[in-house]
A and B are shown apart, each in its own frame.
Chain A
Amino acid sequence: AQKITQTQPGMFVQEKEAVTLDCTYDTSDQSYGLFWYKQPSSGEMIFLIYQGSYDEQNATEGRYSLNFQKARKSANLVISASQLGDSAMYFCAMRDYTVAGTALIFGKGTTLSVSS
């Protein structure tokens, strides 16, 4: 069965520092996509970044980058130059493309706290 594991319940970082949020996944499929979402205290789910299983380059979106290591089945999110507004819950999710319309599978999340 597919599974997403986020082993860090909470992470603390100072402003302007970089932080890595860990995500490992388990799937027997060859075609899948990995996503990161941010959930601030206001509760909405904000899409951050995507990595496809066949993408050779690590995805980047502004201050967000995804450290994709396929052999290790890991897809860690790196946030560079942290800002106070980055304090939120972060979720790693996976979609399996071998079945049409498949929903996302989420990890339990990591709470990031950024201090000044």
Chain B
Amino acid sequence: NAGVMQNPRHLVRRRGQEARLRCSPMKGHSHVYWYRQLPEEGLKFMVYLQKENIIDESGMPKERFSAEFPKEGPSILRIQQVVRGDSAAYFCASSPSDRTPRNQPQHFGDGTRLSIL
């Protein structure tokens, strides 16, 4: 499967625990976007990364949330000390560069559904 791969598909955590969400971009892609979808809402941008760099984290909460995209391995979205309000679907999309062709859609992974007990 050459698409964007996210795991786990479902993740359950208790309040106060840490959640780690993984995203492997499409082959050849070095740019990753993370989005969050709350129930009955559209996707909202969180953070944009390229390998070893955070380009734009304007949509990510300042506390408890962090993201990385190391030189090797998947991009990780980490949520520390989770709270009930973090329950959402988290989607990842990738692109080959920051100069995305005009008509190039973002292709999304299947998402991780995070549930906080």
Partner of A52, one of B33, B43, B103: B103
Give the CA-CA distance A25 to B59 in the complex, in Å: 20
Are A104 and B45 interface neighbours, CB within 8 A?
yes
The range of chain B's interface size is: 20 to 34
Give the CA-CA distance A108 to B106 in the complex, in Å: 18
- By Cβ-Cβ distance, the 3 closest A-B pairs, closest first, are A106-B42, A101-B98, A103-B45
Give the CA-CA distance A101 to B31 in the complex, in Å: 9
Q: Is B107 an interface residue (CB 8 A)?
A: yes
Chain A interface: which of B16-24, B62-70, B79-87, B108-116? B108-116
Q: Is B95 an interface residue (CB 8 A)?
A: yes
Chain A interfacial positions (CB closer than 8 Å to B): 4, 33, 35, 37, 43-45, 47, 50, 52, 91, 93, 95, 97, 100-101, 103-109
A47-B106, A109-B41 given; name 12 further pairs at CB < 8 Å.
Answer: A33-B103, A45-B108, A93-B42, A95-B100, A100-B98, A101-B55, A101-B98, A103-B106, A104-B33, A104-B93, A106-B35, A106-B43
Count of A-B residue pairs with CB < 8 Å: 65
B47's nearest neighbour on chain A, judged by CB, is A103
In whole Å, how far is B88's beta carbon from the nearest beta carbon of chain A?
Answer: 12
Residues on A with beta carbons closer than 8 Å to the beta carbon of B100: 95, 101
Are A33 and B55 interface neighbours, CB within 8 A?
no
Residues on A with beta carbons closer than 8 Å to the beta carbon of B102: 33, 52, 97
Residues on A with beta carbons closer than 8 Å to the beta carbon of B103: 33, 50, 52
